[in-house]
Amino acid sequence: MSKVIRILSLSAVILTGLTTLTRSQNRPAAALPAASDAKKFAFDSTKSLADWTITGDVAVDAAKGRRDKGRSLKIGPGAKALLNLRDSDESGKIDLWIYDDGATPEDPKVNRPGPRWGLVQSDGKVLAVGVLYAAYLSGAEGYTATACDGRQWFEKLFWLGVNRTPAGWHKWTFDFDPEVGLQIFHNDRQVNAVDSRKTGLKGFSAFAVWGDQDRGRKQTIWLADMSVTLGGPVSVPPTIEADPYDEKALTAETTATRPVIIHTKENAPAKPKLEDLPLKQSVSQYGITWTFEKLARLGQFVNGDWYLVGPATIKAIDPKPLYGSEIPKRELDGMDRERNQEHRLRNGFMLNPPAKMQVAYDSGVRNWFDPSLIQRLPVTMKPGDSLVSTISMPKNLVLSAQLRNKIERGVGDGSPIRTAAVLTCVDNPQPPDAFRPAFCPPAAGQQRIYLARNLKRELLPTAAAAESMPNVRRYIRFTQRPWVGTCFFGFEEPVENMPQYGLEYGRVVGISALVLCTDLKPQQKEPLLLNFVQIGIDLGGIVRAGHPGWTGWGGHGSGRKLPIVFAGLLLGDDELANINKSFPKASFGEDEQTAYGDCWTGAKVVFAGHSGIDAATGAGRSRGSGWGPYEHTPPSQWEDGQNTSESYRRCCTSIGWVAQALALRLMHAEKPWSHDAFFDYVDRWMYEDDAAFVKAIKETTGRDHDKEWAKQGQAWDAFVNDMWASHRPALKAPTDGWKKKRDDAYYRTAVANPQE
């Protein structure tokens, strides 16, 4: 499993494509053009260099050819060979063979450009592949691509994950497709680490080879059997950025089309008759249209999601699901190209998606995409079924995510899914105040439908709202579309539906719950309340259906438990309200990363590490990297893994938990939450003066945590800080519980039983 870690901006190294560290792809290069279209360079005599501009030790070598035949072009240290091909920057394809004997400098960790070869744009910009040495690069073992001005070779790097071994001749292909952009192949296998749009090249006009640089042991390389095919202008579409949560989009999405009605037992709406429901051929939501084989009776749940009285057959979905060769070549991303053509998918759907880390919405989903789950139309729905449909992200779109981050298809660990909607099939009309049943039913045909009239709104506090109250409509929009994430790392989470990282997941649910605990008028709260309860129903349904939960993994894994407990409390569902007791082996990040124990700072509650304590086994998750429990040891004993945990404690977890803890305390929900260490840990985070501890960490580890955003005593959001200052001291629970000794057997057992 690929392990993807986000740590804000803690890394100063720019290595685009680092998460594809070992991916030399299995997709063969496109077929070569007709021989008559390609100009070949055989280097059979000195006349072969007539079109080249030569600097330094460049010569035809009669003793070095592929398969011990023919000749080659030798490029010695400090040399350069430049081949001008045309005046304009356009498309084309270059095939060549490079002989690399695997030679390395005395110290391969010192910054140094080794031999390089690649494309040159008319303004001097370069995209070259070759051997680059640095402390953060494995130049002795593999190849790197660089996009630069031809002088600053370490400006933007792409680690290719292609081994230099075995020593000898290797084929390289630079295919600048007029529609797809630049594609690079090594020995006819595509290397997906290079994103054409990140190179800065709009085409190429020349090809160049640069020899090894600097002092010490230097390397000579050889070039042979080169062919060049020139194409026309490049027409790759420009990148478009959009924010689905900006004010314009917010106004369009949240403008009320249905009146806000607070359904209670006193004004409970009547259940409609079948003939009262409209007969429709199709229905649309969030840009997705489902078309039925026959007219169907349709209704809406209290949150606006659609249901049909079934059975019924869906014959078409728009946007149309695309399979294999139906996907335009220019839309294929790195993950697509790893897969067989018949496994490629766009705008996918799943009938009754499993409560597992397995999905088939889009072949760009990393780790969790399972082609065996791909479904095709027509699809028949029967009562009890849920259909999740998606719209895929196009390659040229960059979307702003909730609160933070920008997501682009095929870049880093971003999701390739733009939005999702849920269509539910029921056996009879539902009351207008019915919540949609969870999209992951516990068993085939089983649906649990709750009614808004039964919400225990009296459990919601009316704490005075701080002046820094966020735009409530924004949080209504954040929670409006279904949060259909059953997997992890955000790889499959629709960008226009839900938060994309655990820190933001925790922030959105915490602030949503905190807003609902203020003295806003009931009419102002109701849309957010309905949305938030629906999220809890869905997440609780996922756990009920057998999902293992969301483990603590750096910042990932936070935010799922609160909506479940919240929904359970307000719906009177004890199983959901007491989710820890109901499903004791289910993982939730906030629980797994906090525990009672003796901290080196003197506190009696600890952050349990990047990967925390496994809820199912009670073992500390070291993951072979020292990522488990660590705060019981002083910084002088910390190694890289413990320092990583401390970074995540400060950047991506604690600072986003404060609103959750405060909302739960305001609701007096500590008992159903059933993990007191979480509350005491958040109190510690907010009240412990860490100035001396930050200094001690720097003195012993060299790690500096004195940035304002990394200090204790604060939440990420001003509203949360203001609400905490106003309301936490007034609550009955003491604010110094983190100083008191508690039963720490759970933590000591975890420390004694590390899980690799």
The pLDDT assigned to 255 comes to 67
CA dist 147 → 79, 117, 124, 152 (Å)? 20, 12, 11, 9
**0.85 exceeded by the pTM?**
yes
Of 162, 158, 188, 163, residue with least CA distance to 175: 188
The pLDDT assigned to 641 comes to 96
Per-residue model confidence as pLDDT tens digits over 116-166 = 999 999 999 999 999 999 999 999 999 999 999 999 999 999 999 999 999
Structural domains in the chain plus CATH codes: 15-230 (2.60.120.560)
Which sign does the torsion angle of CA 196, 201, 205, 209 carry? negative
First to last CA, the chain: 14
Confidence of residue 7 (pLDDT cuts 50, 70, 90): very low
Least confident of 334-338, 478-482, 668-672: 334-338
Strands 142-148 and 126-133: antiparallel
The pLDDT assigned to 256 comes to 59
Rounded Cα distance, 712 and 697, in Å = 14
∠ CA 536-541-542, rounded to 5°: 105
Find tokens 């959009």 and name the residue. Answer: 242
Q: Which two tokens stand for residue 66?
A: 């592929």
pLDDT at 400 over 90: yes
The pLDDT assigned to 238 comes to 84
Of 470, 466, 430, residue with least CA distance to 449: 430
Rounded Cα distance, 630 and 593, in Å = 11
Contacts for 708 with CB less than 8 Å, ≥ 6 apart: none
Per-residue model confidence as pLDDT tens digits over 637-658 = 999 999 999 999 999 999 999 9
Rounded Cα distance, 512 and 517, in Å = 9
Which sign does the torsion angle of CA 268, 274, 276, 280 carry? positive
The pLDDT assigned to 581 comes to 97
pLDDT at 254 over 90: no
The pLDDT assigned to 48 comes to 86
The pLDDT assigned to 33 comes to 41
Per-residue model confidence as pLDDT tens digits over 212-221 = 997 778 999 9
**CB neighbour class for 406 (10 Å; exposed up to 12, middle 13-18, buried from 19):** middle
Confidence of residue 8 (pLDDT cuts 50, 70, 90): very low
Of 692, 706, 687, 718, residue with least CA distance to 647: 706
The pLDDT assigned to 28 comes to 38
Of 174, 176, 175, 178, residue with least CA distance to 236: 178
Local structure of 553: helix, strand or coil:
strand
H or E element that contains 565: helix 561-571
Got the DSSP string for 314-328? Answer: EEEEESPPEEGGGS-
Per-residue model confidence as pLDDT tens digits over 314-346 = 999 999 999 999 999 989 998 998 899 999 999
DSSP 597: -
Per-residue model confidence as pLDDT tens digits over 681-717 = 999 999 999 999 999 999 999 999 999 999 999 999 9
The pLDDT assigned to 19 comes to 32
Contacts for 355 with CB less than 8 Å, ≥ 6 apart: 440, 486, 541, 542, 543, 544, 545, 546, 547
